[in-house]
Structure 1
Amino acid sequence: MGDEMISEKAKLVGNRIKMMRLAKGLRQKHVADMLKISQSNLSNIESGRCGVTIEHLFTLQEIFACSMNDFFVDIEKSAYESSKRGYTVEDLLNIVAKIKG
């Protein structure tokens, strides 16, 4: 598995974390404090510039009241399979976040 593929997956997971945070109406600083990391570190995770640890995923699972699968759903699927379904999880979370303002 190449670094480019790992980086792309880190971006997908990071973006999902960001969308879930926004859907819950939580500020980046608040979530970072709960994870015991800096806000800039959380920003790097959400943008895919660095990966998230499994320990942080367990904490995020509690914060967002979600399953671990929610962080990884659709990552292995092709673009065709995702487009066949209509909206992706990111699309739906983005819509919810925009509705909440």
Structure 2
Amino acid sequence: MYDADCLEKIGANVRFLRTLRKLRQQDVAAMLGISQTHLSNMECGRVQFSLKQLLRLANIFDCRLEAFLDVQKAEEWLAAEAETGQEEDKLYTKSDIEQLLKLVKKGIH
């Protein structure tokens, strides 16, 4: 079930998905109407996300809410993105993305 550790997982997944979208914290924070520092605290699990913020982030990142709750869902979202053929347009290679996933998983466990 969900517990306090979920905050860190959600924050890490938000950071992961934001990075994949090549968005800076200050840009996403502006879209959410919060400060960059507040978003940083949210990504580190020190501050909770509201449902409204998660819905906005899902729209910004063009993903499902489940991607914020579970690393596996974030990976599935990434795989679906790669299958659509959009990977060539991305700044990150598949190897870069795999490295990002490893870093996110390290931060969660």
Alignment correspondent of 1:26: 23
Equivalences for 1:4-43 in 2 at 5 Å?
5-6=3-4, 8-43=5-40
CA distance in structure 1 between the aligned counterparts of 2:52 and 2:70, rounded to whole angstroms: 19
Query: Could you tell me whether the CA contact under 8 Å between 1:23 and 1:94 is conserved in 2?
Result: no
- TM-score calculated relative to the size of structure 1: 0.69
Residue-by-residue CA offset, 1:29-48 (whole Å, 9 max, x unaligned): 00000000000000000000
2:57 is aligned with 1:60: yes
1:69 Cα deviation (Å)?
1.0
- TM-score calculated relative to the size of structure 2: 0.64
2:93 is aligned with 1:96: no
Identity value in percent: 32
Whichever residue aligns with residue 72 of structure 1, its letter is L
CA distance in structure 2 between the aligned counterparts of 1:95 and 1:28, rounded to whole angstroms: 19
- Aligned residue for 1:48, secondary structure, equals coil
Task: Write out the 4+ residue segments of structure 1 that deviate beyond 6 Å after TM superposition.
Answer: none
Which blocks of at least 5 consecutive residues in structure 2 are unaligned?
Answer: 79-93, 101-109
Residue-by-residue CA offset, 1:15-70 (whole Å, 9 max, x unaligned): 00000000000000000000000000000000001111100000000000001111
Alignment correspondent of 2:83: none
CA distance in structure 1 between the aligned counterparts of 2:27 and 2:95, rounded to whole angstroms: 19
CA distance in structure 2 between the aligned counterparts of 1:30 and 1:16, rounded to whole angstroms: 17
RMSD: 2.8
CA distance in structure 1 between the aligned counterparts of 2:35 and 2:45, rounded to whole angstroms: 15
CA distance in structure 1 between the aligned counterparts of 2:95 and 2:51, rounded to whole angstroms: 24
Instruction: Judge which range, 36-45 or 64-73, deviates more.
Output: 64-73
Query: Could you tell me whether the CA contact under 8 Å between 2:10 and 2:70 is conserved in 1?
Result: no
Query: Could you tell me whether the CA contact under 8 Å between 1:44 and 1:50 is conserved in 2?
Result: yes
Cα pair distance change 1:30/1:70, threshold 3 Å: same
